[in-house]
Structure 1
Amino acid sequence: MKIVISIGDCNGVGLEILLANHKRVSKLCTPLYCAEEALLKEAARKLKIKYPKSLKCIAPNAKIPPIKPAKICAESGAYSYESFLTALDWTLQGKTKALVTLPIHKKAWQLAGIPYAGHTEAMRALLKPQQNPAIMVLGSPKLYVALFTDHIPLKCVAQSIDAQSLKNFLLSLAPHITKAPCGVLGLNPHAGDFGVLGDEEEAITQAIKEANNALKQRLFVGPLVPDTAFVGKHLRYYVAMYHDQGLIPLKTLYFKESINLTLNLPIIRTSVDHGTAFDIAYQHKADSTSYLNAVREAVFRVKIQEGKTIKK
């Protein structure tokens, strides 16, 4: 099974993780790396590690950037974007079964003139899903959090919440929930305290009711009080109204093992659930658990898509 891997920002921990785990990943699938071999060899030299044998590369259409550990550069941003585009194209063409992305640096993308805040936003714009928008889900087998809004300024969250949009989001998420119920967080402290601390919960309540009615089951519950929603509830799935609301508890509990998964795309795409970690780049301190889990998840979803009955 061929799975393509975009390398992310070469100045972060991505190449260290890639090189250190080639043998392990090769036991799970046939990995194809979207990078020039020369760049990967340079990373191996900087890390003072042996370059893995049988490593297969796909060269993106971009100039090879110099590796500058922990530096935000337009050159590395442009290369990571082209690595992603090449990997995406190969997957869309069916040359590979799934796409796994290593972390990019959003500022480097901005410096390179790329108009997207990250992979998910780029795929929403480039693939334009017809029926449902792409959904960012992060998690581990014990806890998954779907983000109603993801990479937008916090000041824009409240105005983004309306009953119809949230209902559509819940309905598009519903087929991916394997263990009910799914908790939906309120936006305000105390979930608004019956309107004392905000009225956005009225729209959230309406969306939950209408989604459940459409599904003819009580799949979604809430709005839950955000600061206690993860305490003793034993739910596997949650919907957060904004990025940090859902990811602070997730990363506190399962940071190393959690992954990023994009739903409602015409392809399978998984990713690590961490950034470029410039503070530890090229220091042999990067943890590989999230990367390996992202590859495993991609393989699992390919097998399910192919109709194979397997246990995760």
Structure 2
Amino acid sequence: MLKKIAISLGDINGVGIQLALENHKTISKLCDPIYCVNKKILKKATKKLQIKIPSNFTLSGQFLQTKINPGKVKKDSGQFSYDSFLQAIQLAKVNQVDAICTLPINKEAWSKANIHYVGHTDMLRDIFKKNAIMMLGCEKMFVALYTEHIALKKVASELKLSKLSKFLIDFVNDISIEKNTTIGVLGLNPHAGDNGVLGKEEDIIKKAIKKATKVTNQKFDLLVPDIAFTPNVRKKYKYFCAMYHDQGLAPLKALHFEESINVSLNLPIIRTSVDHGTAFDIAYKKQNKLSNKSYINAIKEAIKLAK
């Protein structure tokens, strides 16, 4: 029997709905998708896209009427994407689906709709009262983020021994890691601090690694950030832990932008996502062929994790 996957459609002014419609035939062979949108909003979108609604396109949820303004940051589209995600979460909480896959939201649109979360992971963390971990990547390489959507100037003050060691322990406990695999942990400072010359934060990271190793028996290596993603170093590691958002995601997206996905770890439900934005610049422009690699990979990972 195919796994049931709830798909939240993201910002209705972006490319989410087009991705869902164009790839339904492929997706429905892999799983039983349930799309969190109602028929009235779906009809508006398909009319603009000039795409027919597939006969087996299963819908779930009732939503406030939403105007579609292709490529625009709007309060209505922010509210819809929030409601669509919340509907997917509710389905997962009562075990009506095996996992969730999310299409891209716009954080500014959420702000316009007075939604206080900064994104999907933040919302999941609050709803389940668990320290959800954001991991992004593909089969070749995954990067987990210690801090996510915070200002760079706040990162150093967030580096605390108890918090970082718990992050590393939770991360190891929620991934299926091959035996004898070493996880690369990036230092915060240039040259990983050069033994304290360029900063003392690496002392905290080393202590956190030592504590996590003792608890999990997992091997970690502290890596110099500017060489961590060079070809020779990448041969040694599949999993990396970055101290802040761009430290991990800039190299990941340079290497694997189209195929990488987002996975939320350390939660009672399974959630995967595409690792790209709303692409407002090409939304509802049917002549633009959308890359589906990230979406297909996110669905496949959700199915894999649900087994």
Moved more, 203-212 or 141-150: 203-212
Query: Is 2:151 aligned against 1:153?
Result: yes
Equivalent pairs, count: 297
Give the AA of the match of 1:226. P
**CA shift for structure 1 position 51:** 2.4
**CA shift for structure 1 position 199:** 1.1
2:258 is aligned, of 231, 251, 256, to: 256
Contact 1:72/1:107 (8 A) holds in 2: yes
Unaligned runs of 5+ in 2: none
Q: Match of 1:230? A: 229
Q: Match of 2:303? A: 299
Q: Match of 1:3? A: 5
Q: How high is the sequence identity, in percent, across the aligned residues?
A: 51
Give CA-to-partner distance per residue, 1:210-245, whole Å, 9 cap, x none.
Answer: 21122234x2111x1101011112110000000110
Q: Distance in 2 between matches of 1:142 and 1:87?
A: 29
Give the AA of the match of 1:246. G
Give the AA of the match of 1:183. G
Q: Distance in 1 between matches of 2:282 and 2:290?
A: 7
Give the AA of the match of 2:161. A
Q: Secondary structure at the match of 1:227?
A: helix
Give the AA of the match of 1:178. I
Q: Distance in 2 between matches of 1:52 and 1:17?
A: 13
Give CA-to-partner distance per residue, 1:253-290, whole Å, 9 cap, x none.
Answer: 11111100000111111000011111111123321110
Q: Match of 1:273? A: 275
1:136 is aligned, of 134, 137, 152, to: 134
Name segments (4+ residues, structure 1) moved above 3 Å: none
Contact 1:34/1:86 (8 A) holds in 2: yes
The residue correspondences of 1:17-96 to structure 2 (distance < 5 A) are 17-60=19-62, 62-96=63-97
Give the AA of the match of 1:239. C
TM-score normalised by L of structure 1 = 0.93
Q: Distance in 2 between matches of 1:17 and 1:118?
A: 20
Q: Distance in 2 between matches of 1:299 and 1:177?
A: 15
Q: Secondary structure at the match of 2:143?
A: strand
Give the AA of the match of 1:298. A
Q: Distance in 1 between matches of 2:282 and 2:176?
A: 36
Contact 1:36/1:64 (8 A) holds in 2: no
Q: Secondary structure at the match of 1:24?
A: helix
Give the AA of the match of 1:27. K
Q: Distance in 2 between matches of 1:35 and 1:250?
A: 31
Contact 1:177/1:237 (8 A) holds in 2: no
Q: Distance in 1 between matches of 2:276 and 2:221?
A: 29
Unaligned runs of 5+ in 1: 304-312
Contact 1:21/1:288 (8 A) holds in 2: yes
Q: Match of 1:213? A: 214
Q: Secondary structure at the match of 2:247?
A: helix
Q: Distance in 1 between matches of 2:216 and 2:7?
A: 36
Q: What is the RMSD of the two structures over their aligned residues, measured on CA atoms? A: 1.1
The residue correspondences of 1:103-252 to structure 2 (distance < 5 A) are 103-129=104-130, 133-175=131-173, 176=175, 178-179=177-178, 180-217=181-218, 219-222=219-222, 224-231=223-230, 232-233=232-233, 234=235, 235-252=237-254
**CA shift for structure 1 position 177:** 5.0
Moved more, 12-21 or 38-47: 38-47
Give the AA of the match of 2:149. H
